[in-house]
Homo-oligomer: A and B are copies of this chain.
Amino acid sequence: MEKTKIGVVGLGGRGFGLTKVVAAMEDVEIVAVCDVYEDRVRRTVGGVREIAGYEPRGLTNHHDLLNIDEIKGVLVPTSWISHIPVALDCMRAGKLSASEVGGAYAVDDCWELIRTYEATHTPAMLLENCNYGRDELMVLNMVRKGIFGEVVHCQGGYRHDLRFGLAHNREPDREMRHYRQAEYLYRNCDNYPTHDLGPIAKILDINRGNRMLTLTSTASCARGLHDHIARTDGPEYPLANRTWNQGDIVTTVIKCANGETISLVLDTTLPRPYSRNFQVHGTRAVFTEDNHSLFIEGEADHEKPWKEYWGNVESYYEKYDHPIWKGYDPNKGGHGGMDYLVLRGFIDAVRQGSEPPIDVYDMAAWMSVTPLSEESIALGGHPVAVPDFTRGKWFRKREVYHGEYEL
């Protein structure tokens, strides 16, 4: 079997981790890896050697990597601000890219993805691993089978206590170059919407018979990082008296063309357990991640306390797991198996020369939520329009699903 030849641009913690997962795939060859920091390049070359027995080329300029003809696909786990520029360079070089997640900085950057795709006919993928979560895929499967009736509302969140990392990335012995600190000092928006929005967008057929029309976004005050630093680092710490522009909680409400609403929360600077706050509400069932329960009309009794249904999702896997998860071993790689699956989705698209499961229209729409939420917050919660990046194709060509394995 011929190996699928790929390159990797961006070799920080995440890039190194993803590279190791791919290096273990027997049908893939990592031809070259690239980062602006040479120590990262050396570490990654060594990591691939250990796992796969060969050394990829180590580069510090991604244009050199894109000039290697045999490379057909490029993983792009760079810093947030480089995701779109590198994806554009990949399209121009005729190579399928898979960008790690994060929001955009300007809506025009999202349009540039579309314009470049339309000019080059080279697809690009967003590497949204949460679209491959077991629960997210099971609910997608159940929605397609009609178990939820008509879905009218979804909720999601990126609720992850990041205070320590955000406050301490200047420690010289920590590998946190390019990390998120400046985002929190300067911006105020939902800076990381796709973990929660991605799976919901697939459930609501966004860009395939539906689209996001408008959103409003509201940020709370910013108190979490200041309070954390005051207690853990004291008043002499360089960041102790900085003002953080990023509100602790950002709530974004999206209205869709077919009437559904989506509510998203960014919640990364307060103490809490991790949650993506995934909720799907239909006319016949509701799923909630936070107490891991499924409530299906006819099977459950709404007069009983909810507590009786906590944790019952486990009992539905056998019947409703998405085909992608049937028999899958989640120990295969990263974040409960999601990383392996999203990487396989990418590798398979490279091998087949097909459109990736999360395409450039998904990428543009999902990433645009960040600058749009920034606008709405700045305008005091004013609704802002979400562009139709498909230019009218969302209700024409894009509504057909091709098979049960599809996202």
C-alpha gap A218/B161 in the complex (Å): 28
Interchain CB contact (< 8 A) of A295 among B248, B260, B273 = B273
Q: Is the beta-carbon distance between B261 and A249 smaller than 8 angstroms?
A: yes
Q: Could you say which residues of chain B place their CB within 8 Å of the CB of A284?
A: 227, 271
Q: Considering residues A153, A255, A309, A383, which has the most beta carbons from chain B within 10 angstroms of its beta carbon?
A: A153
Interface membership of A297, Cβ < 8 A:
yes
Interface residues of A in 237-265 (CB under 8 A from B): 247-249, 251, 253, 255, 258-261, 263, 265
Q: Could you say which residues of chain B place their CB within 8 Å of the CB of A283?
A: 223-224, 227-228, 248, 270-271
| Range for the number of chain A residues in contact with chain B | 35 or more
Interface membership of A282, Cβ < 8 A:
yes
Q: How far is the CB of A314 from chain B (nearest CB, A)?
A: 11
| With contact pairs A219-B261, A224-B152 given, residues A302 and B271 touching in the complex (Cβ less than 8 Å) | yes
| With contact pairs A150-B227, A381-B214 given, residues A270 and B281 touching in the complex (Cβ less than 8 Å) | yes
Q: Could you say which residues of chain B place their CB within 8 Å of the CB of A306?
A: 273-275, 290
Q: Could you say which residues of chain B place their CB within 8 Å of the CB of A330?
A: none
| With contact pairs A227-B283, A259-B220, A284-B227 given, residues A153 and B249 touching in the complex (Cβ less than 8 Å) | yes
Interface membership of A13, Cβ < 8 A:
no
Q: Is the beta-carbon distance between A150 and B223 smaller than 8 angstroms?
A: yes
Q: Could you say which residues of chain B place their CB within 8 Å of the CB of A307?
A: 292, 311
Q: Considering residues A152, A285, A300, which has the most beta carbons from chain B within 10 angstroms of its beta carbon?
A: A152
C-alpha gap A224/B220 in the complex (Å): 32
Interface membership of A286, Cβ < 8 A:
yes
Closest to A380 in B: B383
| With contact pairs A161-B302, A216-B218 given, residues A248 and B383 touching in the complex (Cβ less than 8 Å) | no
C-alpha gap A265/B305 in the complex (Å): 19
Interface residues of A in 146-163 (CB under 8 A from B): 149-150, 152-153, 161
Q: Is the beta-carbon distance between A297 and B271 smaller than 8 angstroms?
A: yes
Closest to A267 in B: B281
C-alpha gap A272/B155 in the complex (Å): 15
Interface membership of A354, Cβ < 8 A:
no
Interchain CB contact (< 8 A) of A216 among B216, B291, B295 = B216
C-alpha gap A216/B373 in the complex (Å): 14
Q: Is the beta-carbon distance between A272 and B253 smaller than 8 angstroms?
A: no
Closest to A160 in B: B302
Q: Could you say which residues of chain B place their CB within 8 Å of the CB of A149?
A: 223, 227
C-alpha gap A211/B43 in the complex (Å): 54
**What are 15 A-B residue pairs whose CB atoms fall within 8 Å in the complex?**
A150-B227, A153-B249, A153-B270, A216-B381, A221-B259, A223-B259, A247-B259, A248-B281, A267-B281, A271-B286, A271-B295, A273-B295, A273-B306, A275-B306, A310-B310
Taking Cβ atoms with an 8 Å cutoff, the residues of A that contact B are 149-150, 152-153, 161, 214, 216, 218-221, 223-224, 227-228, 247-249, 251, 253, 255, 258-261, 263, 265, 267, 270-275, 281-286, 288, 290-292, 295-297, 300, 302, 304-307, 309-311, 380-383
* Contacts beyond the supplied A272-B295, A381-B383: 20 A-B pairs with Cβ under 8 Å: A149-B223, A152-B221, A152-B223, A152-B248, A153-B220, A153-B267, A161-B302, A218-B261, A221-B258, A221-B260, A223-B259, A224-B283, A227-B283, A248-B281, A251-B253, A270-B286, A271-B296, A273-B304, A310-B310, A382-B382
Q: Which 4 A-B pairs have the closest CB atoms?
A: A221-B259, A273-B306, A153-B249, A381-B383
